[in-house]
Chains A and B, each alone.
Chain A
């Protein structure tokens, strides 16, 4: 396994692999000038001893505000890159997979949220975006070449604050946040959550908040979340009243040496999802934390892939093999982890 730090000289607000080999989308913020840019960069890996990989900017676009969340997705014709900005708007860049550039202005929808939108996700085939925020709104936005068409699916006027969301199917998504457990929503039933997990879990002192959620690609009833105190939980829609603790304070397996800080991102490991169809077992989960740990949790064991001296704010796994991981580090760098596949 190789681990490289690639300094950017700018704060990395978000980063995603694009479905083009070795190509990344980065949302950067320059602390000196206060300007934000979206960049498409090619990650060069010389694959030679003693030579560090570097990034080559392919295209860039000046953003008007900082990015609070970024997701990418693609259908047959387009790659869509969706960004939620700090002012509560949504921007969608439609990128040509053959010729990735950022020449044309993005599709924009202003004032979707009263505050900073906390999270968004974009559906794979329909390119429908769901955005959630601490103001308690759930918005559905359809991205078309002609523009963005948005609708507020639900607004609880701040009774619950959502911090993360993930599509499970073209009509269903999972979300979580403050003051609620994990919720399963169906956009054909806008009145409220279809199913809800318990709001508390064993070992959480006070209220643990959830920062991130991911849904299994083929077993959509299975989702994992990460939150305060190094907590990683699994929730199965078929057993709604149970939360299965994978890591953190509530975890029973004593061997766990995982993170103790906030878990900023979790992802069911795409590299190991195939061929492990055992229904009773929870598949391996990747996570990153405030205390600088990138780790793989597999059947109760935590394997550290990288330990950094600063927070790992988010990460993404490459879409093809799942062997390459890029992380956004607090110290204005990108961490590139290459696993032997």
Chain B
């Protein structure tokens, strides 16, 4: 994320995005139907990604009681506030979808490596020698996976990898490797791969072959690409200076296949010629053969590639000496006198000088300092190791290339110079600083693993907890900042926990904030995805909060079932009780047709509620109340159908039981007693026999008494005193008295 700054008169620099209205780069303006009662307000807030939102809410001026006017001078839309959305920062070259694809695949590799690390720490305490030995190999595997996701492997123009189609195949811009991949691979060579240390020059040759193009705008890659295009139209390329320069350059940096290929394009190979070019052709071919036999200190070469691979140093040393003596012999051969093409003679001699490691020719055949360094290592010091003053050579190469006029605009021409130099010289602080400056947080978050793979020094500076950073290490800082980038996008936020969970100090806190900031009420699916993260990372309290937010949202929008279900997930008894009370209100008053309908609709809900949450008073009541009401309903139906008397009596007894349960202490809120007692009249006046015994009737009587007393005291909570009219109380009292009499008689 780039901080806003003043830039050419704009308040904030923003990128023109296709989403912007009109596409002319104007920021998006939303209208909100809201205004402030007191003073107008300006709000500034961050949206997703680099979006900054500036909101303005105008003031509503009250004129008199009802008439409202807006203080803004403009009329029409003046009553509404406005939100301006600006996208900050420069527009990125890389498509966002590609960035996300990288984020997806690298998160997986990162998580795998971290799990391996934890397993290793658990198994052998982490500090044993075998542990660390295995560790760099695990990192190497990780590094190679990430490198593969950064883009396909690529080579110099016309190398074995893309030479097959030459010259018809055009170099495609999309196949150009990325700077990130170049840096990644270079760090891998120097910081991770222990095996590679013994054949460092060759590793660098390979690296340069892949990434020469990204080093600067003026490299051998561009030179050879130009030559490639020219050669298409040339019958006798040996007449051109560029041809020989090209061959020499390719040879200098070790792209032998290109050198050999170019040599075989030499005009002397063509059959339909008048001149006698046998000797000339012989010399060209000899050089080509010598090149393709060049000993290389490396485990293997790709199939078909020129050169001979030697893994064992003494063997290589022998072969190299022998081969050099052959080159020297050819250099001093008498055949040169018989060659009548001066250009060819000169060109070939130059090639031999390159092969013999002539500093002057190497300097002339290379353009970038890195190329010079590689050429130097390959032809002068093929035995170099990392420790052997590589940094010193590198600086010398920079200096000797700096003379050729690149000095003034080094940073513009070669933005990676500082960084590559730092990697070569194992200067971890500078590597970290430069990577942070040049690349987005993705690189640093993932590169940490490479830097700390085997270097004790790097481990100490990157893992040291710093007071200046609020007690966290550089490693954690970089993970946190990358996680925040991930958080800002609705498709990548789910990756952020992977990184945050490996941030020991602040990771969990930020993860909780991230989860709580997700707009969970917009979609159940999103809420469930958030809950899944909570489940994986044991964030019970966050899960509860999320469940509650969603539950309340559903309830407020009239989705009762969903609201209750989510509140139950939250185990929020207090809100469930409130919800149950609200449900009660809607069904408790009387038993008219429409209310019974609601009750039936609620049946499923009450089923769901009642059986599990006995702690909630309201819910238990609702559950039983439903049973009671249904019982009464059934009795009415049965009476209409005039079915078996015994069956009706059974139902009646059951309904009476429900009623008694409802009137037990602590079950029913007082305000529902009256409707219950009214409903009870039907049971009390049961025609066949008294349904309620003496004790039971007494219980009902005492409840009625309590109600009357409450009326006298005037503390009827939630009951309209008019409901407790003399008449209705009398009616109930009479029914109770009758029943009591009948019960006494029966007993």
- Enumerate chain A interface residues (CB-CB to B < 8 A): 7, 9-11, 31-34, 115-116, 134-136, 156-161, 163, 177-181, 192, 196, 199-200, 206-207, 209, 228, 260-262, 290-291, 309-311, 330-332
Contacts and interface: CB of A to CB of B under 8 A. Distances in A.
A192 B599 CA distance: 13
B561 A160 contact: yes
Contact of B489 (A31, A291, A330): A31
A161 B561 contact: yes
A177 B100 contact: no
B110 to A, nearest CB: 11
B650 interface: no
B562 A161 contact: yes
A156 B601 contact: yes
Contact of A290 (B100, B101, B529): B529
Contact of A178 (B490, B558, B562, B601): B562
A262 B528 contact: yes
B546 interface: no
Interface string B93-130: 00111101100100110010000000000000000000
Contact of B97 (A158, A200, A310, A332): A332
B565 A207 contact: yes
Contacts of A260: 535
A291 B494 CA distance: 12
Contact of B561 (A31, A159, A228): A159
A31 B558 contact: no
Interface in B6-61: 18-19
Given A10-B97, A134-B562, A179 B532 contact: no
B523 A261 contact: no
Contact of A9 (B101, B111, B494, B565): B101
Interface string B514-540: 000000000110001100100100000
A179 B101 contact: no
B604 A209 contact: no
B565 A11 contact: no
Nearest to A331: B104
Contacts of B569: 206-207
Given A161-B559, A200-B608, A310-B104, A332 B491 contact: yes
B554 interface: yes
B559 A135 contact: yes
A179 B561 contact: yes
Interface in B551-598: 554, 557-562, 564-566, 568-569, 571
B634 interface: no
Nearest to A29: B491
Classify the secondary structure of A's interface with B: loop
Contacts of B607: 199
Contacts of B19: 32-34
A31 B492 CA distance: 11
Classify the secondary structure of B's interface with A: helix
Contacts of A179: 560-562, 564-565, 604-605, 608
A161 B104 CA distance: 34
A116 B604 contact: no
A209 B565 contact: yes
A161 B554 CA distance: 10
Contact of B565 (A158, A178, A332): A178
B532 A290 contact: yes
Contact of B532 (A10, A157, A181, A262): A262
Contact of B491 (A11, A181, A207, A262): A11
Nearest to B103: A331
Nearest to B18: A33
B51 to A, nearest CB: 12
A200 B108 CA distance: 37
Contacts of A332: 97, 100-101, 104, 491
A135 B604 CA distance: 16
Contact of A136 (B108, B561, B600): B561
A300 B100 CA distance: 38
A7 B608 CA distance: 43
B89 to A, nearest CB: 15
Contact of A206 (B108, B559, B571, B611): B571
Nearest to A264: B525
Given A33-B18, A196-B604, A158 B561 contact: yes
A207 B570 CA distance: 10
B694 interface: no
A311 B529 contact: yes
Nearest to A290: B532
27 contacts: A9-B97, A31-B489, A31-B490, A32-B95, A33-B19, A134-B559, A135-B558, A158-B560, A158-B561, A159-B561, A159-B601, A160-B561, A161-B554, A161-B561, A178-B559, A178-B565, A179-B604, A179-B605, A199-B604, A290-B532, A309-B111, A311-B529, A330-B491, A330-B494, A331-B100, A331-B101, A331-B104
Nearest to B611: A200
Contact of A159 (B107, B524, B571, B605): B605
B602 interface: yes
A158 B561 CA distance: 7
B698 to A, nearest CB: 38
B530 to A, nearest CB: 11
Contacts of A34: 19
A206 B602 CA distance: 18
A11 B492 CA distance: 11
A207 B529 contact: no
B562 A291 contact: no
A10 B494 CA distance: 16
Contacts of A161: 554, 559, 561-562, 565
Nearest to B491: A31
A270 to B, nearest CB: 26
B441 to A, nearest CB: 19
B528 A290 contact: yes
B534 to A, nearest CB: 11
Nearest to B600: A192
Contact of A7 (B101, B489, B565, B566): B101
Given A33-B18, A207-B568, A309-B108, A136 B559 contact: yes
